[in-house]
């Protein structure tokens, strides 16, 4: 078989031989504190509280205390 | 802000299922999906006890550990949430959860297992707060409105407490001190029963084989 025929055969087989090289790793690597999904905003970063964390915490504290009928006025 | 937790006072729960209804109504949860339910022990017998159960937003959540696509995350308030765009509905979280919290839609011709749904502590999910997309996928985001979960706030006897773990633990402690009972319903004895006397060994019969 001539050298040109070998080259032709190898060039035809090359795409098949390298087909797996373009694949990305599909194994999920879990990192503490991170996840693969979309990031979520904080509950005080919205139109109502406008980034005021203290106001949000006070609202939650107020609601928390309202669950105790002993401390209601 | 400390961790958000639920606490159900079994001395107060009257099995009215108001929490279940409030959750269903608030988030327009589809038929067949129960983010919250009331479990009754020794139903119909004197001394029966009921407790409202949903996702407990575990500090070391097993659902997070087993998820193969890593779609769970924990907010700074300790609420365990997940990304439904990433969930593949494999059900591993359901097997891992000791409370049976993960739910899967079962409607459709073939009883399909869709994307997992669970209690969000009324904190929505990874979409813009109070957006249409967030409501459609995760339900209402009451936490971003400065409110606590609907189930706890709707509870008529205030058996179900939700919120900052330290605060609700103090509320519960005050109750126990004032009414003088109830502390015994939490702990090892409740979960696993009282230690029993060791089983008696059968006495060898005279003349029998030992």
Range of the domain at B164: 4-189
Q: How far apart are CA B50 and CA B42, in angstroms?
A: 9
Q: How far apart are CA A56 and CA B144, in angstroms?
A: 8
Estimate the share of chain A in helix, then strand, then coil, as percent rounded to the nearest 5.
45, 0, 55
Q: Does the beta-carbon distance from B164 to A43 stay under 8 Å?
A: no
Is the residue at B13 inside a domain?
yes
Q: What is the pTM of this model?
A: 0.78
Interface test with B, best of A44, A47, A68 (most B CBs within 10 A): A68
pLDDT in tens, B120-175: 999 999 999 999 999 999 999 999 999 999 999 999 999 999 999 999 989 998 88
Q: Does the beta-carbon distance from A41 to B129 stay under 8 Å?
A: yes
Q: Does the beta-carbon distance from B146 to A48 stay under 8 Å?
A: yes
Comparing alpha-carbon positions, the chain B residue that sits nearest to A34 is B73
Count of domains forming chain B = 1
Interface test with A, best of B144, B164, B180 (most A CBs within 10 A): B144
ipTM: 0.81
Is the residue at B200 inside a domain?
no
pLDDT in tens, B30-79: 888 999 999 999 999 998 999 999 999 998 899 999 998 889 999 989 99
Is the residue at B203 inside a domain?
no
- For chain B, the average pLDDT equals 87
pLDDT for the residue B110: 59
CATH code at position B43:
3.30.70.20
pLDDT for the residue B210: 47
């Amino acid at each position: 078989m001539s050298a040109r025929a070998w080259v032709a055969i190898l060039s035809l087989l090359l795409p098949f031989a390298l087909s797996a090289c373009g694949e990305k790793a599909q194994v999920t690597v879990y990192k503490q504190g991170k996840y693969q999904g979309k990031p979520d905003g904080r509950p005080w970063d919205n139109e109502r509280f406008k980034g005021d964390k203290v106001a949000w915490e006070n609202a939650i504290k107020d609601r928390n205390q309202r669950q105790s009928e002993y401390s209601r006025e | 802000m400390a961790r958000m937790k639920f606490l159900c006072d079994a001395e107060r729960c009257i099995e009215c299922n108001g929490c279940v209804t409030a959750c269903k109504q608030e988030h327009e949860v589809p038929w067949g999906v129960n983010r919250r339910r009331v479990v009754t022990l020794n139903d119909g017998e004197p001394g029966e006890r009921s407790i409202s159960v949903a996702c407990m937003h575990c500090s070391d959540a097993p659902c997070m550990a087993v998820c193969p696509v890593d779609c769970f995350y924990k907010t700074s308030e300790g609420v365990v949430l997940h990304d439904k765009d990433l969930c593949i509905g494999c059900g591993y979280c359901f097997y891992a959860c000791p409370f049976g919290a993960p739910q899967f839609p079962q409607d459709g011709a073939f009883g399909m297992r869709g994307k997992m749904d669970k209690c969000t502590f009324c904190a929505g999910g990874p979409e813009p707060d109070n957006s249409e997309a967030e409501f459609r996928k995760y339900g209402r985001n009451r936490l971003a409105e400065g409110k606590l979960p609907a189930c706890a706030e709707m509870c008529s006897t205030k058996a179900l407490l939700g919120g900052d773990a330290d605060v609700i633990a103090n509320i519960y402690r005050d109750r126990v001190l004032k009414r003088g009972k109830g502390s015994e319903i939490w702990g090892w004895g409740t979960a696993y029963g009282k230690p029993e006397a060791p089983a008696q060994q059968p006495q060898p019969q005279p003349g029998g084989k030992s």
